Structure 1
C-alpha cells in the first residue's frame, strides 16, 4: 500500500492542543451547514398556506439552499486559499444570519428563494469548506478521528434543531422563528473565531505516518515537483491556478473519487427523504414513521465518530480508500434489502443499519479526499468536488420521487438508490486497487531512474578525475 498524499505544509501538525478547539468549531459550523436546510421543512406547511403556493414551489427553498451551498464551493476555496478559514467562516455565519433575518420580512416566495436559498446557501458554503480544510492543518496522525468528530455535528444538530424548530413554530410562527434562527445561526461566527491559523515553526520533523511513510522525504519531493511545475506555468493558467488548483483534474486518484461520488449522490439523500413516507405507505402511523428518522439520526450520531476512531487505527488507516469503498457499497446493500423488510420492526432494523452505513460514508467522505490530494491541495479539491456534485445532489431526490409517481410504489425507488450506491462502491474499490498498483509501478520506475542517473553521474565524475590525474602527471 503506497503512502497517503503528503501534507506539504512546511511544519509538523500538532495533532492536538488548540486543534481540539478547532474541531469543536468545525463541529458547530458543519452541523449548521448540513442540518439547517433539512430542519426548515417544518415551516413549509404554514409558508405554503401564507403565500398560497404549491408544495413543489415551497420545496425549492431547501433545494436552492443546498444547491447554492455546493455551487459556492469554488468561491469558498478561493477565499480560504487567500484569507484563511477564520474570516471566511465568520462571513458565512453573518450571511446565513442576515438571510434568515431579512427573509422573516419577506412578502413573496421569491423573497425566500433569494434570502434563504441563495444568500443562506452561499453562507453555508463559507461555513462548510473552511471547517473541513483547517482540520488538515492541525492534524496528521489523528486526522480521521478529528474529521469523524467534526462530521458528527450534522446528526447532532439535526437531532437538536428538529424539536427546537417545533417549539419556535408553535410559539412564534414562521416569521418570528426565522428571526430567532437568524440570531441563533450567528454562533457560526463564534465557531469561526476558534479557527486560529496555525503557524509552523522551524524545519519539518521526520514523522512517520500511519502508512509507514516519512513525511519529511515526501514534503521535499513534493516541493521539488511544485518548483518545477511553477517554472512551466504561464499566461491564463498561471493566474487561475493562483486562486484554485485546476491541475487536480489531471490527478488520477481525484478523478476516480469524483466519478464514484457523482454516481453515488444520485442515490445518497433520497432514502432519508422518503423513509417516513414509505413507512406511512405501509400503513404505519405517523408517530411511528417519524420515530424511524429519530432512530436513524441517533445511530448516525454515534456512527460518525466511531468510524473516525476505526479509520485512525494502524490496520485501517493505510487502507482507508478501501474502507470508504466498502461503506458506499454497504449503503447500496441496505437499500436493496429495504423492500424485503416486513412490518415496523423490519423498518426499525433498516433504520439502524442505514444509520450506520450513512454515518460511515459521511465520516470518510472528506477524509479520503484529503488522503488522496494532501492537506495543501484539499481546499481546492473540495471546492471543485462540490461544484461537480451539485447536479446529482439537486436532481437525486426529484428523480427518486418520479419513480414513486410512475410505479406508485416505493420499493423501486429503493432498488434504484441501492444500485446507485452499490455500483460506485464496487467501482471505487476496483479502481483504487488498480490506482495503487499503478502508483507502486510509477514509484519503482522513479527509483530506478534515480539509481541509473546517480550511476551515470558517478561514472562521469570518475572519468573526469582520471582525466585530471593524467593532465597533472610530469612529462
Structure 2
C-alpha cells in the first residue's frame, strides 16, 4: 500500500479519509448521545435515581477529557492511524466488559472512563487527519465529516430502543461493542500524508545516492544530527515539556475564549441529550419509541445545517462569520427555554429539529476557526486541550444536572440549564469576534 502524496490535499485519498471519518463519527455519537435510551433498564435493575445513573456520562466525559491531555503527544509519536486502531480495539473490549454481570460502578468505569478515553483519542486522530488532507476545502470536509455526528443518533437511538426491547440493556451493549470495533477499520484508512517538502527531499536523496555522493550526504547528516543533539542537551526539561505539549498556547487570550465558548455549546447539547428522551417518556402521551425519535428529529436538523454550512459558510465574509455563530447561539437560547412549554408530539419534534438546525454546523466550524486563529501545527494540541477542558466541565454538568433533576423533580430543568449555557456561549463568541477582528 503506497503512502499518499501532497497531490492528495483537497482531494484524492482525502475523500476516503473523510468517508471513514463519517462512519467513525456516527459510531461515536451513537455511543454518547443515545446512552439515555438505556437509562430506564439500568435504573430498574440497580434501583438507582437520575443522579446516580448520570455518573456513566459523567465518567465518560472524564475519560474523554483525560485523553485530550496526551492525544497530541501520542499522535506525534505514533501517528494517528496506529492510535486510532489501538483505541478502537480497547474501546470495543471495554464496552463488552461493561455488558457483563457486575456492580453498577463496573458499567460506569468501563463504558464511562475507558470507552470515553478511547473515543476522545480517536476524535483527535480523525480531525487531525482531516486538517492534514484538506486546506482550501477544510470547511467542506469538516462539515461532511460531522454529518456522521448527526447520522449516529438519527439511526442509533431508535435502534437502541428496539434492541432494548428484545435484548435488554446488556445485550444492547454487547452488540454495541461489535459496532465500536468497526472504528479499527476506519483507522486503517487514515494513512499519514507526505507533504511536498518531504517529497522533494526524498527525491533529492535518491538523486544523490544514484550520483554516487552518498558519503557526502552521510557526513552532512552526522554533522546536522550532532548539532541537533547538542541543542537538545542545552534545552532545559521545562522547555522540552512546553514544546512537546505546546504549553505556550495558554498564554494567549483568544485560546481560552475559543475553548470556553465551544465548551458552553458542548454543555448545552449534553444536557439536552441526557434527558430529551426521558422527558418525552415522562410526558405520558407518547411511547418510548416515539420519544427516541425526538433525538432523530434533532439529528435531521443537524444534517440540514451541515449541508448548508458545507456550501454557504465560506461565502460569509470572515469578519462576520463569528457574528453568524452568535446568531445561531441566540436561537438555541430561545428554543431550549421554550421546549418545556411545547405541547404535543409534533411540536416537540419541530422544536428538536430547530435545535439541530441551529447547532448543526457549529462543531464543524470550530476546526475552521482553529486554523484561522492559530498555525496548523498546533491543531492537534488545541483540539486535545478543548476536549480536556470541555469534557471536564461536561462531567460536572452531567452530575449537577442529574442532581438538579432529582431535587426539582422536573426533567425540564435540564433544558433551562442548556438555555443559560447557550447564552454564555453567545457572549463569549461575541467577545472573540471583538478581539480578533
Q: Shorter-chain TM-score category?
A: 0.7 to 0.9
1:42 alignment counterpart: 37
* Structure 1: distance between partners of 2:278 and 2:41: 20
User: Is the CA contact 2:94–2:110 (under 8 Å) kept in the aligned structure 1?
Assistant: yes
C-alpha deviation, 1:379, in angstroms: 0.3
Q: What is the TM-score normalised by the length of structure 1? A: 0.75
2:216 alignment counterpart: none
Q: 1:15 to 1:184 in 2, by over 3 A?
A: same
User: Is the CA contact 2:326–2:426 (under 8 Å) kept in the aligned structure 1?
Assistant: yes
1:78 alignment counterpart: 73
Q: 1:174 to 1:430 in 2, by over 3 A?
A: closer
* Structure 1: distance between partners of 2:113 and 2:324: 35
1:208 alignment counterpart: none
Q: 1:330 to 1:367 in 2, by over 3 A?
A: farther
C-alpha deviation, 1:402, in angstroms: 4.6
User: Is the CA contact 1:30–1:127 (under 8 Å) kept in the aligned structure 2?
Assistant: no
Q: 1:325 to 1:389 in 2, by over 3 A?
A: same
Relative contact order, CA 8 A, sep 6+: which one is greater?
A: 2
C-alpha deviation, 1:349, in angstroms: 3.0
1:308 alignment counterpart: 310
* Structure 2: distance between partners of 1:335 and 1:24: 32
1:143 correspondence with 2:138: yes
1:352 alignment counterpart: 353
C-alpha deviation, 1:18, in angstroms: 0.7
Structure 1 stretch displaced more, 253-262 or 148-157: 253-262
Query: 1:72 is paired with a residue of what secondary structure?
Result: helix
> What are the ranges of 5 or more consecutive residues in structure 2 without an aligned counterpart?
200-230
1:246 alignment counterpart: 247
**2:183 aligned to which of 169, 188, 208:** 188
C-alpha deviation, 1:297, in angstroms: 1.9
User: Is the CA contact 1:267–1:396 (under 8 Å) kept in the aligned structure 2?
Assistant: no
Aligned residue pairs total 402
1:294 alignment counterpart: 296
What are the residue-to-residue correspondences of 1:60-79 with 2, within 5 Å?
A: 60-79=55-74
User: Is the CA contact 1:308–1:364 (under 8 Å) kept in the aligned structure 2?
Assistant: no
**1:101 aligned to which of 89, 93, 96:** 96
1:322 alignment counterpart: 323
Q: 1:81 to 1:326 in 2, by over 3 A?
A: farther
Q: 1:103 to 1:367 in 2, by over 3 A?
A: same
C-alpha deviation, 1:66, in angstroms: 2.7
C-alpha deviation, 1:188, in angstroms: 0.5
Q: 1:125 to 1:319 in 2, by over 3 A?
A: same
Q: 1:411 to 1:94 in 2, by over 3 A?
A: closer
1:420 alignment counterpart: 421
Q: 1:407 to 1:171 in 2, by over 3 A?
A: closer
Q: 1:14 to 1:394 in 2, by over 3 A?
A: same
2:118 alignment counterpart: 123
* Structure 1: distance between partners of 2:279 and 2:43: 23
Q: 1:175 to 1:351 in 2, by over 3 A?
A: closer
C-alpha deviation, 1:408, in angstroms: 5.1
2:367 alignment counterpart: 366
C-alpha deviation, 1:163, in angstroms: 3.6
* Structure 2: distance between partners of 1:178 and 1:407: 31
User: Is the CA contact 2:281–2:291 (under 8 Å) kept in the aligned structure 1?
Assistant: yes
Structure 1 stretch displaced more, 73-82 or 237-246: 237-246
* Structure 2: distance between partners of 1:429 and 1:11: 37
* Structure 1: distance between partners of 2:433 and 2:248: 20
The structure with more helix, counted as a fraction of residues: 2
C-alpha deviation, 1:52, in angstroms: 5.2
* Structure 2: distance between partners of 1:181 and 1:271: 22
1:275 alignment counterpart: 276
* Structure 2: distance between partners of 1:45 and 1:404: 15
C-alpha deviation, 1:75, in angstroms: 1.6
User: Is the CA contact 2:37–2:160 (under 8 Å) kept in the aligned structure 1?
Assistant: yes
1:157 correspondence with 2:152: yes
Q: What is the TM-score normalised by the length of structure 2? A: 0.81
**1:127-155: per-residue Cα shift (whole Å, max 9, x none)?**
11110111111111110111011111122
**1:287-338: per-residue Cα shift (whole Å, max 9, x none)?**
554433322222223322332322233x345643333333333322322344
